[in-house]
Amino acid sequence: MAMGSVLLKMKDGAEENLCMSLAKIPGVSVESKAPSGELIVLVESADINELHKQCMEMERMEGVLGVYPSYITTEDEAMAAEK
């Protein structure tokens, strides 16, 4: 499993529509809003490639200016590969 925390920078007035659209993406949840105005989004997926696809999908949404990963882990994938 891959997990990431991303900052989603958006256009003014886009927050409500983006939150509704993000809620429709499996494994994606809006956790809070940063003091600087970005949405803090948690992304969970089967592997790092799927996480990348989810971030790319978010980047193409109306009102999104950028998607910036702040933390990504694939620790359990690495542990599984070691076994």
CATH number at residue 35: 3.30.70.920
Radius of gyration of the chain (CA): 13
The whole-chain average pLDDT of the chain stands at: 91
Residues 46, 2: Cα–Cα separation, whole Å: 6
At residue 82 the predicted structure's pLDDT band, cuts being 50, 70 and 90, is low
At residue 75 the predicted structure's pLDDT band, cuts being 50, 70 and 90, is confident
- pTM, whole model, 2 decimals? 0.83
The number of folded domains in the chain is: 1
Task: State the average pLDDT over residues 65-72.
Answer: 94
pLDDT digits (tens, 9 = 90+) for 36-47: 999 999 999 999
**Residue 73 structural domain:** 2-82
